[in-house]
């Protein structure tokens, strides 16, 4: 079976640039660069283009979501702490209406109460958390599956 080429945007939010150093008991020992390499390898395995961006700045992430419209067919996002605070990111995802999967390295529901709420979840097609770096790979696989089955079935 052949698929049309897919282009996916991966967004990493605040403090994820410190992965590997920052609280490895919670976030693991892999660096963001290592996670990005794993995503690129999995993207090749799935025959999709993966474009990765990171920012500690909310407005940059909002701009990247807006810019995804017309360039990418889906978004994989770990918004970090903005998950729990950013109506702006939620509204940007809703505005572009691209299938979006939310991922988290840790299980946010086993952590502090304030992390239990996600502004992104209601506008995402799904959420994966608690599997460390594997959350990103599972999220990428789920997004590709969704785009190739749910979206292509409509075309």
Convert the pLDDT of each residue in 58-95 to its tens digit: 999 999 999 999 999 999 999 999 999 999 999 999 99
Q: What pairs with residue 113 in β-bridges?
A: none
pLDDT, residue 2, reads: 52
Name every residue whose Cβ is closer than 8 Å to that of residue 70 and which is 6 or more positions away in sequence.
none
Task: Write down the catalytic residue from 12, 54, 72, 104.
Answer: 104
What φ, ψ does residue 16 adopt, rounded to 5°?
-70, -20
User: How many beta carbons lie within 10 A of that of residue 153, not counting itself?
Assistant: 7
* Domain assignment of residue 1, yes or no: no
Is the residue at 84 inside a domain?
A: yes
- Kindly state whether residue 77 falls inside one of the protein's structural domains: yes
Q: Report pLDDT digits (tens) over 125-138.
A: 999 999 999 999 99
Q: What angle do CA 20, 145, 101 make, to 5 degrees?
A: 45
* 36 annotated as a binding-site residue: no
Whether residue 90 is annotated as binding a ligand: the answer is: no
Q: 116 catalytic, yes or no?
A: no
Is residue 94 in a domain?
yes
If one counts the domains in the chain, the total is 1
Which DSSP symbol is given to 147? I
**More confident: 37 or 108:** 37
What lies within 8 Å, CB to CB, of 62 at 6+ separation is 88, 89, 92
Task: Round the average pLDDT of the chain to a whole number and report it.
Answer: 92
Q: What 3-state class would DSSP assign to 109?
A: helix
Q: Is residue 62 part of a domain?
A: yes
Q: Is 15 annotated as a binding residue?
A: no
Checking if the pLDDT of 153 tops 70, the result is no
Alpha carbon distance 127, 115 (integer Å): 14
Report whether 12 contacts 52 (CB < 8 A): yes
Closest CA to 49 of 17, 78, 71: 71
Looking at residue 50, which CATH number applies to its domain? 3.40.50.9100
pLDDT band of residue 22 (cuts 50, 70, 90) is confident
Domain membership flag for residue 149: yes
Catalytic residue chosen out of the listed positions 27, 82, 119, 136 = 27
Residue 116 known to bind ligand: no
Q: Is the confidence at residue 12, as pLDDT, over 70?
A: yes
Answer yes or no: is 138 within a domain. yes
Rg (CA), the chain: 15
Q: Is 106 annotated as a binding residue?
A: yes
For residue 47, give its domain range.
6-154
- Is 122 a domain residue? yes
Is 117 one of the annotated active-site residues of the chain? Answer: no
Query: Which two structure tokens, joined as six digits, stand for 47?
Result: 């025959």
| 140 annotated as a binding-site residue | no
Where does the pLDDT of residue 8 fall: very low under 50, low under 70, confident under 90, or very high at 90 and above? very high
pLDDT score recorded for residue 154 = 58
User: Phi and psi (nearest 5°) for 126?
Assistant: -175, 170
């Amino acid at each position: 079976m052949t698929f049309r080429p897919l282009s996916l945007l991966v967004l990493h939010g605040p403090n994820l640039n410190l992965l590997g150093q920052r609280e490895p008991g919670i976030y693991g020992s892999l660096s963001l660069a290592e996670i990005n390499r794993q995503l690129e390898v999995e993207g090749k395995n799935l025959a999709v283009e993966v474009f990765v961006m990171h920012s500690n700045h909310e407005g940059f992430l909002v701009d990247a979501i807006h810019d995804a419209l017309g360039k990418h067919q889906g978004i994989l996002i770990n918004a970090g702490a903005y998950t729990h605070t950013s109506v702006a990111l939620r509204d940007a995802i809703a505005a572009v209406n691209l299938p979006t999967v939310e991922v988290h390295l840790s299980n946010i529901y086993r952590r502090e109460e304030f992390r239990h709420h996600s502004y992104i979840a209601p506008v995402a097609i799904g959420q994966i958390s608690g599997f460390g770096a594997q959350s990103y790979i599972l999220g990428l696989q789920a997004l590709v599956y969704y785009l190739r089955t749910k979206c292509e079935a409509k075309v």
